[in-house]
Amino acid sequence: MMVPVILAAFLAAALLPGPASAHGGLSNYTVGETWYRGYDPSTPPEEQLNKPWLTQRQWTTIDPLFSPTSPFLACNDPGTPPPSSIPISAGEVITAVYYYWLHPVGPMTAWLTRCPEDNCNAVNLTEAKWFKIWEAGLLDGTLELGTWYQKSFQRWDGEPGLWPVRLPEGLGSGRYIIRHEILSLHVGFRPQFYPECAHLEVTGGKEGKGVEGEVPGGYLKVFPGAYDQDGELPSCELGREKGKGLS
Ligand SMILES: [Cu+2]
């Protein structure tokens, strides 16, 4: 009778990534009561790519990208497009599900890009222009010593991290790519980027261009290109006591 118990414990230990592999990524999405399975880097690609249930772009490792100039900064490596899209209404909430998250420092952001001619598979990811629809940074204290939203997302108890993001009400109906990015900054001068992307089919929005057609050019960002690792940090950011997220 002991053998199955020991085996079960062994399997659990083997399957659950511990702090030793302290990276991660976006595993699944939910919209309302519907669950959308994401790409799983630990499952063979041939069991996932081209499957009709797949709505997330391919990412092959839970390791981060370490460079803000990585060609894969938009939708991870390799970012192969999925066959399907997540249906969602403008103004509705999509929740990103992480099986666990162990890093506490740095901003979390969510972005959209509209797919030309509603063809997200044809999007050139290094040229796509993204607008930010959600952000959370420093909640309290200083950049170095304060508490980041990412810390509240941290899970040591085996519970999944849930990240709900509401799409803008005035979005135009059509196809989009949604990009979730966690930027972890717990190691000095060695940023860790964790981007994952899924394809969306937005209905119930505005006809035509929608709010995304009105985003001023300065707010449209390209990945890589949005970040500069050698940039100057504004002195007001370093000294302030209370943060309200990164601008
Ligand atoms: Cu990590």
Q: Is residue 152 part of a domain?
A: yes
Total domains present in the chain: 1
Task: For residue 91, give its domain range.
Answer: 26-229
In a domain, 243, yes or no: no
pLDDT score of 158: 86
Which one, of 179, 171, 170, 174, lies nearest residue 201 by Cα? 174
Percent of the chain at pLDDT above 90? 76
Tell me the two tokens of residue 162: 């849930």
pLDDT band per the 50, 70, 90 thresholds, residue 19? very low
Residue 132's closest CA among 242, 9, 246, 16? 246
User: Is residue 245 included in any domain, yes or no?
Assistant: no
As residues whose CB is below 5 A from the ion ligand 1, the structure lists: 22-23
List CB contacts of 158: < 8 A, sequence separation 6 or more.
16, 100
CA of 211 to the centre of ligand 1 (A): 35
Contacts of 149 by beta carbon, 8 Å cutoff, 6+ apart: 107, 108, 136, 137, 138, 139, 245
Task: Tell me the per-residue pLDDT of 40-87, one tens digit each, with 9 for 90 and over.
Answer: 999 999 999 999 999 999 999 999 999 999 999 999 999 999 999 999
Assigned domain for 41 exists: yes
21 Cα to the center of ligand 1, angstroms: 7
The answer as to whether 77 is a domain residue is: yes
In which order are the strands placed within the sheet that holds 86-89?
86-89, 192-203, 174-184, 108-114, 131-136
166: CATH: 2.70.50.70
Q: How far away, in angstroms, is 187 Cα from ligand 1 center?
A: 10
Residues whose CB falls within 8 Å of the CB of residue 111, separated by 6 or more in sequence, listed in order? 130, 131, 132, 133, 178, 179, 180, 181, 221
Q: What is the pLDDT of residues 181-240, one digit of tens each?
A: 999 999 988 999 999 999 999 999 999 889 999 999 999 999 999 999 887 765 544 444
Asked if residue 142 belongs to a domain, the reply is yes
Please indicate, yes or no, if residue 204 is contained in any of the structural domains: yes
Distance 8 CA to ligand 1 centre (A): 27
pTM: 0.86
Contact 193, 25 (CB under 8 A): no
